[in-house]
């Protein structure tokens, strides 16, 4: 039986996870230097989130629909600005701490609603671990002059500027817990260290083989959390006694890389688990030493859940169309990514389903695409609340952005585009003088043509 009947309308989704107290805390983090404009914090966040979850072939079309939904749901509130340019200017002035305050409010709701049902292990009578996957991806940006100058290149030569996004995801429901943005050349491990203060109690960080390092493991342990990381051939471990690798299943080891030994730092005691597979065995390293706290089966299941993070990126880039950001300045690119991640967290939270199994409540991931379609359908229903004049204004604005004919004031190519041949205009024609032989042939052909027309 489903007990978490989440309202799949956009308005119901916001009211469920963002209370008036959450909005007040975000306002406290804003502190505008000047009097608030027509774009207040709630209007900005509403429209930005609706643009991320809505439909439209362009940024202008998404804005017109998102603003109309806000007006329809807030008939007694002051009308926000009617132009995309004004909205973007107001969004650029919005400080990122205000958006992170909203993200912190979502984490508090997730902590109460999801975390108790997600704990694994813990032994009889003990509190289990909360598995969170960590991974990162790059988001491509337009080749604007400012973005190329400040973000630089992170991939192949002459590649587009990118923003690096690192996320912590609740497993197995795939709900984003926290995230961090940086340049395309950012270091995932540094992002994870900065995200450690957001972890819940008894968190288990699940990551792939890239997230290895003495400093990282020590930082996770100091934060009161544990780690479960896949090992690779570059991992060097030590044991007090010899082991038979053919029969090895799990056991205590010391993680003590060379730089830590040279610096006189002590070895880290950990436990290695071998998960046998059909194609290849998976070797895992965890800081949970007691088998009663995290058994072999629970650890293997938690690592298999890590692929929920990959599925989250697929939803973000394909369902929400964020494979490439649309903003053309660094400030707007960061705010576009922050607001779209907030929208993704709301979407995945709405997709998570609570199922009653005996005396316990179990959370299972739902279909984010199905929930997204229901949210978009509810947005169209909300638009019917517009008055006759408001509906006419919305239709006029929508037709204007769909049929917009921009007047061009510069050449089409304003900068050098890598890996593309430069346009070369055709050369002038060659005009030559006819000689006597060619003239006689032309007169003969013209005479024959004139005789056929008579």
DSSP per-residue letters across 75-143: TTSPP--S-HHHHHHHHHHS-HHHHHHHHHHHHHHHHHHTHHHH-B---TTS--BEEEEEEEEEEE---
Contact between 91 and 335 (Cβ < 8 Å): yes
* Euclidean distance between CA atoms 390 and 10, whole angstroms: 20
Tell me, what's the pLDDT at 101?
A: 94
Query: If you count them, how many residues does the chain have?
Result: 454
Backbone angles phi, psi at 23, to 5 degrees: -65, -35
Q: Which residues contact 370 (CB under 8 A, 6 or more apart)?
A: 351
In the block, tokens 């880039």 appear at: 317
What's the CATH number of domain 123-337, 3.40.50.300, 3.90.230.10, 1.10.10.10, 3.90.350.10? 3.90.350.10
Tell me, what's the pLDDT at 197?
A: 96
Q: How many Å separate Cα 331 from the centre of its chain?
A: 16
Residue by residue, pLDDT tens for the chain (454 residues) are: 343 444 568 898 999 899 999 999 998 888 776 656 789 899 999 999 999 999 888 899 999 999 999 999 999 888 999 999 999 999 999 999 999 999 999 999 999 989 988 998 876 666 899 999 999 999 999 988 899 889 988 877 778 899 999 999 999 999 999 999 999 999 999 999 999 999 999 999 999 988 999 999 999 999 999 999 999 888 888 887 777 777 788 888 899 888 888 888 899 999 999 888 888 888 899 999 999 999 999 999 999 999 888 889 999 999 999 999 999 999 999 999 999 999 999 999 999 876 655 556 667 777 899 999 999 999 999 999 989 999 898 898 888 887 766 666 666 656 666 666 776 777 777 778 888 888 888 888 888 877 776 6
* Euclidean distance between CA atoms 59 and 52, whole angstroms: 10
> pTM for the full model?
0.86
Burial class (CB in 10 A: 0-12, 13-18, 19+), 290: exposed
Tell me, what's the pLDDT at 356?
A: 53
């Amino acid at each position: 039986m489903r007990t978490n009947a989440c309202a799949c309308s956009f308005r119901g989704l916001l009211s469920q996870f963002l209370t008036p107290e959450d909005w007040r805390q975000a306002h406290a983090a804003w502190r505008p230097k000047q009097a608030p404009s027509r774009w207040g914090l709630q209007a900005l966040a509403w429209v930005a989130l609706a643009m991320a979850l809505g439909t439209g072939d362009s940024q202008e079309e998404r804005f017109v629909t998102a603003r109309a939904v806000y007006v329809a749901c807030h008939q007694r509130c002051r009308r926000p600005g009617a132009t995309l340019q004004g909205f973007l200017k107001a969004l650029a002035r919005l400080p990122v701490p205000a958006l992170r305050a909203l993200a912190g409010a979502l984490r508090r709701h997730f902590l109460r609603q999801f975390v108790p049902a997600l704990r694994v292990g813990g032994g009889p009578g003990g509190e289990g671990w909360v598995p969170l996957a960590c991974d990162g991806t790059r988001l491509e940006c337009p080749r604007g002059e400012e973005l190329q100058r400040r973000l630089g290149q992170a991939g192949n030569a002459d590649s587009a500027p990118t923003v690096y996004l690192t996320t912590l995801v609740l497993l197995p429901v795939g709900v984003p817990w926290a995230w961090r943005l940086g340049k395309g050349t950012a270091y995932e491990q540094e992002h994870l260290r900065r995200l450690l203060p957001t972890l819940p109690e008894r968190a288990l960080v699940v990551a792939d083989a890239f997230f290895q390092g003495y400093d990282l493991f020590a930082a996770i342990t100091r934060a009161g959390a544990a780690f479960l990381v896949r090992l690779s051939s570059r991992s060097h471990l030590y044991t007090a006694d010899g082991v038979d690798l053919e029969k090895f299943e799990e056991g205590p080891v010391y993680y003590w890389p060379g730089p830590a030994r040279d610096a006189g730092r002590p070895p880290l005691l950990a436990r290695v688990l071998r998960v046998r597979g059909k194609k290849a065995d998976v070797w895992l390293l965890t800081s949970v030493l007691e088998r009663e706290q995290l058994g072999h089966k629970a650890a293997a299941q938690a690592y298999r859940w890590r692929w929920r993070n990959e599925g989250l990126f697929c939803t973000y880039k394909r369902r929400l169309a964020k494979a490439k950001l649309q903003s053309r300045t660094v400030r707007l690119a960061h705010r576009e990514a922050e607001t779209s991640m907030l929208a993704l967290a709301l979407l995945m939270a709405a997709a998570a389903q609570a199922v009653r199994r005996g005396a316990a409540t179990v959370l299972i991931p739902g279909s984010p695409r199905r929930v997204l379609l229901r949210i978009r359908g509810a947005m169209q229903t909300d638009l019917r609340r517009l008055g006759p004049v408001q509906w006419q204004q919305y239709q006029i604005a929508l037709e204007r952005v769909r049929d917009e004919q921009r007047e061009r004031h510069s050449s089409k190519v304003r900068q050098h585009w890598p890996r593309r041949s430069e346009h070369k205009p055709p050369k002038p024609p060659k005009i030559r003088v006819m000689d006597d032989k060619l003239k006689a042939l032309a007169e003969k052909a013209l005479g024959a043509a004139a005789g056929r027309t008579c």
